[in-house]
Structure 1
């Protein structure tokens, strides 16, 4: 696996791929590790998560630089990602026992009936490159503390991050085989899922990848959780606080260089404030600093690869050809690296890629609506259903409309974000199942009824 720095186009590291024999050995070791790991007291497992959080913070600069080198994340955002990983470890260290406590049920006199939450075994996680530490830790922290063991197939452009995560957990005191990285190509994933030793699967990534993993898992009747793409609506009502809404909207579209499933992608704006909002959005996009991701002044770094940037640019060009108006951006920057500027499209036709597909980069599509009914209709005019947001000074109005948006999570006057304290996941082609909070830790457990007479 060659690691290409997307800011320079240079190959900076090469890793040897694992083969089928390596996978077989890893599965043997995972199965053996599970037999002992599941018996460790939960309090001990929680303490190891605390140690992992401490290591993450101690090595924050090192791991942030690794992230930036492999997939181009601006360095301050990379450091923030490491902090968030430490947070999810600490969250489950504090709350896992409460989340997994036995639940007692009404029963006849002299009997005791309860639900116990017991681990399943080795879980295969197929993870993406855009948040290369966070996506993995939001899987690893709850599942390891629940007593499962993990097998990670990470994206092929971030092998260093994958191995670093394994290092964190090993150095924190987790058993060596409780969490293993498999540097394998995608064509070996289905064989791993097909193996009896793998008890469940989870994937964060594209729709086609999710469909493949879900199909392979379903064929073997194995539990799976999918968090797939999104085309989140950012609904701006006529009574929104425009100064704040514009500022948050610029960030919501361009954070992580626009490469986020829950980034705001379709801006649905009431006619009364449309012109002012578009003007502010364009001004804000043009003010962002695009450049070297190792520079702390950089707000938007490169796209993760030249191929991904080319795909994004093709979507923009086809949207403009279909009739969209290019307000700013829209052309790769004339410099080394995969740099694409923050871009704003208006007058987007319904059949244009910017309206129908997920644009995984710093491109905002803006739609004008006459009233809140049309806003909800436009917000729901998508196959996706990951997240969304509503912006209004009337909190009750915002909450009412939040219930009308078809998505796994809707935020009122706040940018959509994943948070260890609340469930995260989508509906429609954005996936199924939930991560984080109590819901997430209970996805890969046996909810066992125990009746004692």
Structure 2
């Protein structure tokens, strides 16, 4: 069903359903571990506690590209936190998402939290509506993600990782790699090997088990693909491979590699939700990290290197500014147990693992006086 509606290949669709199953398992275990705290009170005869309680009803708005898993992340955890759910799936995936498509959740004060997954532009509108009524919002928006390939990287791993990161799901993941930032010493070899690997991708019906690359989701996505390639060429880009709409039924386009653009070219700074990756060349690692961080989004990022110093620079305060920071793996493919989301225009929200459950609850700080005295905090006297 998901392959028919989204165009996602069968293996990825099955994996997405498995992800919902996995997050349900995770949430069941989590339900036994919600922890408040007991703090020492500065006042004699007092107890200071912290407790988490359900919000009530949580609204979830999801995008077309993950119509099962993203709802799963939100619903499983929100429900074990004691909340009820109201879901609006993407209008283009009704068979998969059973959407409630006409509810203005963002303005409804009965929903303390609205979780939105989708584009930065729409997420901004949703957040403003929710904020106007002092509601809570959880945003997981776009990403202009980069892989940095240092001079000491294992290039076999780089090529294998990059093909899936750039072309998997036909470029329609929020964590898809949009920019490959290559050290000048490995630039030519990586580009040559990637072009060869792209030529071996099995393109076809996403419902067939051996297909690795399916169609785009809609005709609008095909137009976005064509416009992005036209703009890239206007701005000085060179199409290394791909660049054309495939002449066959369906929204099929060629996975595309474009070189020759500056790191700050307008099209490189723009997230286009299609299978186009821009190749950039750097000389020193500080420069590459700066380029990684200069885009407005801050979702996922990766570096390929064997140097421990580079790794700890990358994950530290002067490294990647993204919510997801990877080493020697691609930008896409997240595990259930880690909080998923990003910074800046990606929205700042976190879904799934770690302490993301806290967003689906309200925090109460509780003071209990079990004495017969009324001392004030900070030793204040009011007598």
TM-score (norm 2): 0.92
- Matching residue within 40, 55, 58 for 1:120: 55
| Residue 22 of structure 2 is aligned to residue 87 of structure 1 | yes
SS of residue paired to 1:272 = coil
The aligned residue for residue 52 of structure 1 is none
- Matching residue within 66, 75, 89 for 1:140: 75
The aligned residue for residue 174 of structure 1 is none
- Matching residue within 168, 182, 188 for 2:100: 182
Q: Give the CA RMSD over aligned residues.
A: 1.4
| Residue 317 of structure 2 is aligned to residue 382 of structure 1 | no
The aligned residue for residue 357 of structure 1 is 270
Are the counterparts in 2 of residues 223 and 444 from structure 1 also a CA contact under 8 Å?
Answer: no
Deviation at 1:111, TM superposition (A): 3.2
Report the Cα distance in structure 1 between the residues aligned to 2:116 and 2:283, rounded to whole angstroms. 39
| Residue 351 of structure 2 is aligned to residue 435 of structure 1 | yes
Report the Cα distance in structure 1 between the residues aligned to 2:119 and 2:161, rounded to whole angstroms. 26
- Matching residue within 195, 211, 228 for 2:141: 228
CA deviation profile, 1:179-216 (whole Å, cap 9, x unmatched): xx4132xxx53xx3322211111101011110110000
Deviation at 1:394, TM superposition (A): 1.8
The aligned residue for residue 173 of structure 1 is none
Are the counterparts in 2 of residues 202 and 224 from structure 1 also a CA contact under 8 Å?
Answer: yes
Report the Cα distance in structure 1 between the residues aligned to 2:202 and 2:266, rounded to whole angstroms. 26
Deviation at 1:96, TM superposition (A): 2.7
- Matching residue within 36, 50, 56 for 1:102: 36
- Identify which range, 432-441 or 114-123, moves more after superposition: 432-441
Provide closer, same or farther for how the CA distance between residues 297 and 353 of structure 1 changes in structure 2, counting only shifts above 3 A.
Answer: farther
- Identify which range, 395-404 or 142-151, moves more after superposition: 395-404
SS of residue paired to 2:76 = helix
Report the Cα distance in structure 1 between the residues aligned to 2:242 and 2:260, rounded to whole angstroms. 15
CA deviation profile, 1:41-89 (whole Å, cap 9, x unmatched): xxxxxxxxxxxxxxxxxxxxxxxxx101111110111001111111111
| Residue 364 of structure 2 is aligned to residue 451 of structure 1 | no
Deviation at 1:338, TM superposition (A): 0.2
Matching of residues 284-433 of structure 1 within 5 Å = 284-350=197-263, 352-403=265-316, 404-416=319-331, 417-433=333-349
Provide closer, same or farther for how the CA distance between residues 351 and 449 of structure 1 changes in structure 2, counting only shifts above 3 A.
Answer: closer
The aligned residue for residue 78 of structure 1 is 13
Are the counterparts in 1 of residues 263 and 291 from structure 2 also a CA contact under 8 Å?
Answer: no
Are the counterparts in 2 of residues 270 and 368 from structure 1 also a CA contact under 8 Å?
Answer: yes
**Relative contact order, CA 8 A, sep 6+: which one is greater?**
2
Report the Cα distance in structure 2 between the residues aligned to 1:91 and 1:350, rounded to whole angstroms. 40
Report the Cα distance in structure 1 between the residues aligned to 2:344 and 2:212, rounded to whole angstroms. 32
Report the Cα distance in structure 2 between the residues aligned to 1:385 and 1:134, rounded to whole angstroms. 21
The answer to which structure has the higher helix fraction is: 1
The aligned residue for residue 381 of structure 2 is none
SS of residue paired to 1:432 = coil
SS of residue paired to 1:196 = coil
- Identify which range, 105-114 or 254-263, moves more after superposition: 105-114
Report the Cα distance in structure 2 between the residues aligned to 1:408 and 1:447, rounded to whole angstroms. 24
Are the counterparts in 1 of residues 173 and 273 from structure 2 also a CA contact under 8 Å?
Answer: yes
Deviation at 1:353, TM superposition (A): 4.8
Unaligned runs of 5+ in 2: 370-383
Provide closer, same or farther for how the CA distance between residues 237 and 351 of structure 1 changes in structure 2, counting only shifts above 3 A.
Answer: closer
SS of residue paired to 1:420 = coil
Unaligned runs of 5+ in 1: 1-65, 164-180
Report the Cα distance in structure 2 between the residues aligned to 1:346 and 1:193, rounded to whole angstroms. 41
TM-score (norm 1): 0.78
SS of residue paired to 1:267 = strand
Are the counterparts in 2 of residues 387 and 410 from structure 1 also a CA contact under 8 Å?
Answer: yes
The aligned residue for residue 269 of structure 1 is 182
